[in-house]
Amino acid sequence: MNSNQVIPAAEVTVDPAAFRHVVGHFASGVTVITTVVDGELFGTTASAVSSLSMEPPMMLACLNRSSSTHDAVQQAGVFGINILAEEQSELAMKFGRKGGDKFDGVAVTFSKEGVPLLDGALATIVCRVEETPTGGTHTVFLGLATEASAGNGEPLAYFRGTFGRLERVRELAAYNAVRDWVLRRRTPLRHELDPAVIAAETKSDPQNVHNALVKLTAESLVTRGDKGEFLPTPITHELIDSVYDGRATIELGVLASHFGKFTDEDIAELGRLTEELGKLRESGKDGLDEFLKLNVKYHDRLVNVAGSAQLTDAFRRLGIGTVWRQALGGDEWARQMDHSHIAELTAALRDRDEARAVKALGLHTAFGKKLASDVIERHGGEV
């Protein structure tokens, strides 16, 4: 097969969603690929970057043809690879989005060729494009390194959709697995959460599982019993109100402080997610998992507009959607999960109408609380 051949769809054997999940297990560093065309600066976050050859010194970077940085690199014939340091996750998020002036407020130093290099990057390499084979949706830019320098520090790591230090990323993966375990009620209410069993089942380090249970205790999702054992905390009306209010406060804050930052791409993506949510509701009973996942994506995308990894992280930690998986039976969910306020919120964002967006978000929160409250009531006051 020559390098420009695209694999026909009929030969694709792995489901794209499953493939994305599996590939996410490959831990990588994070870079920002930068370039300049006629004085205009371009940059995109990229993890599909690798060293290629030592003699001559070559690197490769894979960029989606839909990326504007892709076209700019092709035109400029030169690009910078900025390997991000562990404290630069906000830059990774900023350059991982489309539109806006990504370089606004970002300190750069220009290379001899005029390529902007991010100050504070762990290492930077400037490359001249040598070859551009393609694969699937991407162009592989093979570049000859013309400048390279490295500083001191630790790299930003990327693993299963999360940024962090490598050790921190493992801790976080364990935390997410334990949280999911607790909220899916894999250990029923009033039964002891056994760290050894959870560690074995989730293939996590037992110490990380213990730490996750302690953290979940602080977050009111786990309770310590008389003998210090860990027990799942029942979700009650009070707990629901506090997490829904916490999430609403973050989202309202994003609308209030960053309303002007919603790009056309953000709104188009929120529109696409809204449409998919609608379709899933119509499709009925088997779609709850998918509905909840899309719902998470929708709210994440909204909060991401603030460009703060910490805020997104705090927001995610207030999500308890998985508890509904076992509480809502059969096709009941499709009747219950009204998403009309989300549709209204998306429409208000599209019309750039902040007051309407705030109102829709308020109604959405009230609806979520009411639905949750009804489910809890039907389960005798706790889930």
Ligand X SMILES: Cc1cc2nc3c(=O)[nH]c(=O)nc-3n(C[C@H](O)[C@H](O)[C@H](O)COP(=O)(O)O)c2cc1C
CA distance 35 to 158: 23
Nearer to ligand X, 169 or 375 (CB): 169
Does residue number 44 form part of the binding site for ligand X (CB under 6 A)? Answer: yes
3-state helix, strand, coil in the chain (%, to 5): 50, 20, 30
Least distance to ligand X, CB of residue 48, Å: 3
The nearer residue to ligand X, 98 or 325, going by C-beta atoms, is: 98
What does the per-residue mask of binding to ligand X show for 154-173, with x meaning CB under 6 A? ----x---------------
Q: Is 52 in the site for ligand X (CB under 6 A)?
A: no
CB closer to ligand X, 100 vs 234? 100
Site for ligand X (CB under 6 A): how many residues?
17
- Rounded to 5°, the CA angle 187-188-189 comes to 120
Task: Give yes or no for residue 30 binding ligand X (CB under 6 A).
Answer: yes
Sequence-distant contacts of 280-287: CB under 8 A, at least 24 apart: 280/334, 281/334, 281/337, 281/339, 282/334, 283/334, 284/331, 284/334, 285/330, 285/331, 285/333, 285/334, 287/334
Question: Which residue type sits at 209?
Answer: V
Q: Helix, strand or coil for residue 58?
A: strand
Q: Could you tell me where the DSSP H helices lie in 128-165?
A: none
Residue (45 or 208) nearer to ligand X, CB: 45
Q: Which of 37, 48, 144, 252 binds ligand X (CB under 6 A)?
A: 48
User: Does 106 interact with ligand X (rule: CB under 6 A)?
Assistant: no
* Cβ partners under 8 Å of residue 86, min gap 6: 153, 154, 155, 156, 157, 164, 165
Interaction of residue 47 with ligand X, rule CB under 6 A: yes
What minimum distance in Å lies between the beta carbon of 304 and ligand X? Answer: 10
Site for ligand X in 6-25 (CB under 6 A): none
Choose between 96 and 120: whose C-beta lies nearer to ligand X.
Answer: 96
Nearer residue to ligand X within complex by CB, 64 or 146: 64
Q: Is 160 helix (H, G, I), strand (E, B) or coil?
A: coil
Question: Which of 64/326 has CB closer to ligand X?
Answer: 64
Query: Which lies closer to ligand X via its Cβ, residue 160 or residue 325?
Result: 160
x/- letters, 58..87, toward ligand X (CB under 6 A) = ----xxx--xxx------------------
Q: What's the token pair of residue 293?
A: 């996942």
Piece of 57-65, 78-86, 169-177, 344-352 that binds ligand X (CB under 6 A): 57-65
**What are residue 71's phi and psi, to 5 degrees?**
-65, -40
* Lookup: tokens for 241: 């109100």
Terminus-to-terminus CA distance in the chain, angstroms?
Answer: 55
Answer for which of 24, 29, 57, 96 binds ligand X (CB under 6 A) is 96
Task: Spell out the residues 6+ positions from residue 70 whose beta carbon is closer than 8 angstroms to its own.
Answer: 44, 63, 64, 139
97 interacts with ligand X by CB under 6 A: yes
Residue selected from 24, 57, 74, 98 as contacting ligand X according to rule CB under 6 A? 98
Q: How many CB atoms lie within 10 A of CB 109?
A: 11
Interacting residue ranges for ligand X, rule: CB under 6 A = 30, 44-48, 62-64, 67-69, 92, 96-98, 158
